[in-house]
Structure 1
Amino acid sequence: MPLIVARPTGHPGYSATLPREPGSAATARRLVHVALAAWQMEELADVAALIVSELVTNSVQHARSNSIRITVTRPEAVRVRIGVVDKSKQFPVPREPSAEDEGGRGLALVEALAEDWGTDPLPWGKRVWAELRGKGHE
């Protein structure tokens, strides 16, 4: 089990560094569930778990580092940001897969489910993130 770290000060947040392998999506989903339960925002759990799965899968398929970093932060009382950091500088691009394609729909799904999403360049790679908004949390 990876070391999961909660921020001691500032905006609340959780993070974990995981191996860049398909099984890390399940660990990332658990991290998202833990964070949302701690913040009493469980109504976002299913959508957030699907989003983090897609972001992790994209990173596993396209990045070339040994590990990825998952972050779950709460920049505002009603907003949650899920991020996946890897060492690839190549930004993800949504595409239009054909009906026969088995993959290629992940970013379109993230775009449809998230309130907002994007990619931040980092000196050593990038962070792909998606934001969700909770209901009635002030």
Structure 2
Amino acid sequence: MLRVWAPERLDDIVLGVNELVINAVQHTAGPQRLIVEKHPCHIVARVCDSWRNPTRVVLRTPDALDQGGRGLQLLNELAETWFVQTTEDGKAVCAAFCVPSQEDRSR
């Protein structure tokens, strides 16, 4: 669907969503769920898990020799914004990617 919804942002969105999913798999026990929604000017991706502590999702600055810790920095550059939501059964780490509106595309 991303090829249809946002072909010009496909690579950025896929890479950003990949980072969200990798973080959920590495840092939570599961289960995880991916939800992608189309809004007029944004694509919003949510990766949901059962971990109930949203304050543990933080942007950090790794040392040059660190093996990891750059996923949220990358997401910070690719997405318009990212945020954490509390859900009924845990939390969701979400990212919103700007995309041209249908009206802008047809011009």
TM-score, structure 1 as length reference: 0.68
Q: CA deviation at 1:125?
A: 0.6
Match of 2:10 in 1: 45
Q: CA deviation at 1:105?
A: 0.5
- AA paired with 1:55? L
Q: Which has the higher helix share?
A: 2
Q: For each residue in 1:8-60, what CA deviation from the matched residue of structure 2 results, as whole angstroms up to 9, or x when unmatched? A: xxxxxxxxxxxxxxxxxxxxxxxxxxx21233x21111000110110011101
State how 1:28-107 maps to structure 2 within 5 Å.
35-39=1-5, 41-65=6-30, 67-75=31-39, 77-91=40-54, 92-107=57-72
| CA–CA distance in structure 2, aligned partners of residues 104 and 130 of structure 1 | 17
SS of 1:130 mapped into structure 2:
strand
Higher relative contact order (CA 8 A, sep 6+): 2
Match of 1:22 in 2: none
Q: For each residue in 1:76-122, what CA deviation from the matched residue of structure 2 results, as whole angstroms up to 9, or x when unmatched? A: x2211011000011221111100010100101111111101100001
| CA–CA distance in structure 2, aligned partners of residues 71 and 38 of structure 1 | 17
SS of 2:32 mapped into structure 1:
strand
- Matched pairs, number: 101
Where in structure 1 are there 5+ consecutive unaligned residues? 1-34
RMSD: 1.3
TM-score, structure 2 as length reference: 0.87
- AA paired with 1:43? E
Identical aligned residues as a percent: 37
| CA–CA distance in structure 2, aligned partners of residues 63 and 116 of structure 1 | 22
